[in-house]
Homo-oligomer: A and B are copies of this chain.
């Protein structure tokens, strides 16, 4: 009965007729398991349903479907296993749990003839799981990318629109309740990487531990970069991207330059968005609220209805998620990952600097698409130099960066961001 649980209870109690109509039968909220039974609740629950004892659920044979809205890994994992073992179908919103223990939990569910649904675990109110697993089933997904972490997106929007520094934007996110007291999992890309690992399983059949998703957070993004990107016609967004090529699957979470004028650049505040390319359907784009009480509850209750009505057990049985052996889908090595790069360096303001840097890039077969170097504003010896490259491999870029950072004329490690394609 946290934020999402309260929303789920509200829909089940206050919209009982609606849920019954769409589930084809009456759906009764039988039990609500909480830590503290005495705490007041925002929703009026039927008498006697609140308990602090999980066995009130596991031992009740009338209960068929359980919304598992427990965060973190433990006791969330044990609770889900107990529920499955008690014969319950489980709907969860816990992406960390699935990204970490998906193979174990799904295997166990299959052994027990039970189902797990998890549309709320990725992109909140956007039903991306059902869309990929069912609506786009005629397609091979070729690529997908999205803004999957609302906290990061809120911070980047604040920085861009209010011209506030990262730390201040983060505090504002915390004030508004978007960011946790410890926001590190959001801003360092872990949350988005866990969601991407789940989508990669669905879309590409890739059994990739989320720790293997290449991952950078937004904490390295400065106001200066946001302004330079703007000048070049881009916004900076934390993008989770998966794409298939002949060399394998590339999975990455990183702040990227997103071209203005496209839909992804217009995703503001705590919204989420996902763009999927299927070989038959072409590109399809989804935008909606990725978090929050009622949007997430919308996804949880849709999954509960799908369980009750019988669609979800079919989907779960057919999808065989995390059922393939490890390594069924090869990861693309960095030398075959091609894209454009944005680089901001603090360089000494003197002749020949650009030639030196361009020389290093050229030796790594990286060609320059555009350069910004403004006239010096203050009177220091150092100026920012911004370079946008043409397509280059991750490997070449990485090697060139090492050399560039060693140059005497380069005064700080600088920033290197990717450009979304």
Contact = CB atoms under 8 A, between A and B. Distances in A.
A19 B288 CA distance: 30
Contact of A306 (B127, B134, B278): B134
Interface string A185-223: 000000000000000000000000000000000000000
Interface stretch (A96-104, A170-178, A248-256, A309-317): A309-317
Contact of A135 (B11, B292, B302): B302
When all copies of this chain in the complex are counted, the total is: 2
Nearest to A18: B140
A131 interface: yes
A7 B125 contact: no
A130 B134 contact: yes
Nearest to A286: B286
A288 B288 contact: no
A19 B137 CA distance: 8
Interface in A114-148: 119, 125-127, 130-131, 134-140
A135 B140 contact: no
Contacts of A281: 125, 288-289, 294-295, 298-299
A299 B281 CA distance: 8
Contacts of A360: none
A323 B393 CA distance: 58
Interface string A300-337: 11100110011100110110000000000000000000
26 contacts: A7-B280, A11-B138, A11-B280, A23-B318, A125-B281, A127-B135, A130-B134, A131-B135, A134-B302, A135-B302, A137-B301, A138-B305, A263-B263, A280-B297, A281-B288, A281-B299, A282-B289, A282-B292, A282-B295, A284-B289, A285-B285, A286-B286, A309-B314, A310-B310, A311-B311, A311-B315
Shortest 7 CB-CB contacts between residues of A and residues of B: A127-B135, A138-B301, A284-B288, A280-B298, A281-B298, A285-B287, A125-B281
Given A134-B302, A263-B266, 7 more contacts: A125-B284, A134-B306, A279-B294, A280-B297, A281-B295, A285-B285, A286-B286
